[in-house]
Amino acid sequence: MRTPTRGLFVVLALAPLLTGCFVSGEDGKDTAATGGGAAGRLKVALAIPPVQALSPYSNDATVLSKLSVAEGLTALDEEGAAAPALARSWTRKSATTWSFELREATFQDGTEVTAESVVNALDHAGAAEVKPRVLSDVSLTVKAQGARTVVISTKTADPVLPMRLASPALGILAPKAYAKDGTVSPIGAGTGPFEITKLTGKTKAALGRYDKYWGGRAKASGIDVTWIADGTARANALRGGDVDIAEWIPTAQAKLLAKDTRHEVPSVRTDSLVLNTASGVFTDPALRAAAREAVDSSALVGSVFGGYADPAQGLFGPAVPWAAGRRAEVTGRTKAATREQVTKETKGRTLRLATYTNRAELPEAATVLQQQLEKAGFTVKQDVREYTQMEADLLAGKYDALVLSRVTLLDTGDAVSYLASDYTSDGVYNIAGLKDAKVDSAIKSAAAEGGTAERQTKILRAEAGILRTDAVVPLVHEKVVQGVGANVEGVILDPRERSLVNVDTHLK
């Protein structure tokens, strides 16, 4: 039986350093330090407004994780391995079957977390009209075995199932969260230390402390969330004391913050130029290769990111240490078209280059890339909007190219999920429209591998296969800057960007 003993993943917290994710003493007593508003409400500014009213089946899922509203059966520890959450332990019964033992916990509506409620939650995720990305390459059969045991089976072996279940998209919510029309509302339905009490459109949310949280009483009495899409405005809100925590501070603004309020975090986020291989200009492999040759990502590191980035070495950067020094050689690339050939092939056709405003560096990067592509012979027109306004068009293939910032280990903590959703023929986030049998086969082979080192080797082979197609041109590996007021302790600085506030986060 595997019974991990580590707490939830905490990479770095502000002083005092945390010894685990949960507040010490699980008797529910308030362990917050006295005085100075230590048990006050936190004011948090987030960057990307809700797409679907905080439904876990959208990109909103990470909000539920960042604010400690919802939990899965498992979590990820600092090494990226599965650790207990709502499941206190698990056993692999066979290649395709796992048994999970639940801890005693309650939902925020007061009902008990039972095996049946877990089955209900995971069944709804599997049946969702738009399936969560984490389930793009697997189907789960979930059954209750008594009140506190859940048995999960997959059609084929899934060696990383415990890691998969840590995805924010598979957070377990109370039965009341799931409406008959397929919508899901996490308001008052999670299991975490903070409960959503009010959601005001796409601008604000109020969270209260859930005092019956199984991991102990949170030190903060609640959280007031404001979504501020403009990065400069987020930085100004922190400087002005309007918020205590502001995520994703633009690099141009970082040095304007007081030194003790800006915190650089190595990130598993890679920014890339994604090319639409299914329609438009970049159906031609030679033109994709020409775009790849035109791009000089080193020009972005200093001018756009202010040094808070590294030139991309591939899809996975320094925050994924096992990728360094083990990359497979990229072979078989198509020869790039010359400038004359590009001009001839694209005559009268404009390349539609998209990006979004939620991350301030991306529009600047798009402008630099536009100049580089035009120098190579392309005619380029930018379309820059908020991400929520353009996601549907991106998935529908209405752009030729996209400057995309992507967390490569977000969904499972395992890179295969990201590769499957973004680059397989039936991937649910395949903005590149890539359909390549060799890539599909390489990702499938990695997904079937149970050994850690062997799986990583196959992931890097799949990476090389994807880069061979020039469907994506990696640009930089970001270093995230999180803004944290000097009056705040216990903020989680997480390279995976799925954690931010937990039971130990509070005002001094």
Q: What is the pLDDT of residue 18?
A: 28
Q: From CA 435, how far away is CA 311, in angstroms rounded?
A: 27
Q: From CA 370, how far away is CA 384, in angstroms rounded?
A: 13
Average model confidence (pLDDT) across the chain: 90
The per-residue pLDDT for range 398-449, each reduced to its tens digit, is: 999 999 999 898 677 889 989 999 999 999 899 999 999 999 999 999 988 8
437-448 helix and 415-423 helix, angle to the nearest 10 degrees = 160
User: Contact 160/452 with Cβ under 8 angstroms?
Assistant: no
What's the angle, vertex CA 60, arms to CA 56 and CA 65, rounded to 5?
75
Q: What is the pLDDT of residue 29?
A: 35
Q: Which of 198, 177, 175 is nearest to 186 (CA)?
A: 177
Q: Which of 387, 376, 368, 410 is nearest to 499 (CA)?
A: 410
Q: What is the pLDDT of residue 34?
A: 31
Q: Which of 148, 59, 155, 44 is nearest to 405 (CA)?
A: 59
Q: What is the pLDDT of residue 251?
A: 87
At residue 1, does pLDDT exceed 80? no
Two tokens at 340?
């004359």
The per-residue pLDDT for range 169-184, each reduced to its tens digit, is: 999 999 999 999 999 9
- Most confidently predicted of 6-10, 120-124, 360-364: 120-124
Q: Which of 276-290, 336-350, 438-452 has the lowest mean pLDDT?
A: 438-452
Mean pLDDT of 325-350: 95
Q: Are strands 194-200 and 87-92 parallel, antiparallel or unpaired?
A: unpaired
User: Contact 440/424 with Cβ under 8 angstroms?
Assistant: yes
Mean pLDDT of 243-262: 94
The per-residue pLDDT for range 55-99, each reduced to its tens digit, is: 999 989 999 999 999 999 999 987 778 999 999 999 999 999 999
The pTM assigned to this predicted structure is: 0.73
Find the helix or strand (DSSP H, E) in which 270 lies.
strand 262-275
Q: What is the pLDDT of residue 79?
A: 74
Q: Cα–Cα distances in Å, from 181 out to 13, 58, 172, 200?
A: 41, 16, 19, 21
At residue 21, does pLDDT exceed 70? no
Q: Cα–Cα distances in Å, from 314 out to 46, 243, 270, 289?
A: 28, 36, 9, 16
pLDDT band at 39 (very low <50, low <70, confident <90, very high): low
Cβ-count burial of 318 within 10 angstroms (0-12 exposed, 13-18 middle, 19+ buried)? Answer: middle
Q: What type of residue sits at position 314? A: G
At residue 33, does pLDDT exceed 70? no
High-pLDDT (> 70) share of the chain, %: 92
27 vs 473, which has greater pLDDT? 473
Q: What type of residue sits at position 131? A: K
pLDDT band at 354 (very low <50, low <70, confident <90, very high): very high
Preceding peptide of 50 cis, ω within 30°: no
Q: From CA 290, how far away is CA 338, in angstroms rounded?
A: 7
Residue 173 three-state SS: coil
Q: What is the pLDDT of residue 322?
A: 87
Q: What is the pLDDT of residue 417?
A: 85
Q: What is the pLDDT of residue 2?
A: 37
Mean pLDDT of 363-367: 97
User: Contact 111/144 with Cβ under 8 angstroms?
Assistant: no
Q: What is the pLDDT of residue 26?
A: 32
Q: From CA 165, how far away is CA 56, in angstroms rounded?
A: 13
Mind listing the domains of the chain with CATH numbers? 41-228+485-507 (3.40.190.10), 268-478 (3.10.105.10)
Mean pLDDT of 347-363: 94
Q: From CA 256, how far away is CA 166, in angstroms rounded?
A: 36
Q: Give the number of other CB atoms < 10 A from CB of residue 298.
A: 13
pLDDT band at 36 (very low <50, low <70, confident <90, very high): very low
Q: What is the pLDDT of residue 496?
A: 87
Residue bearing tokens 């939902």: 107
Residue bearing tokens 């960007």: 497
User: Contact 211/28 with Cβ under 8 angstroms?
Assistant: yes
pLDDT band at 185 (very low <50, low <70, confident <90, very high): very high
High-pLDDT (> 90) share of the chain, %: 80
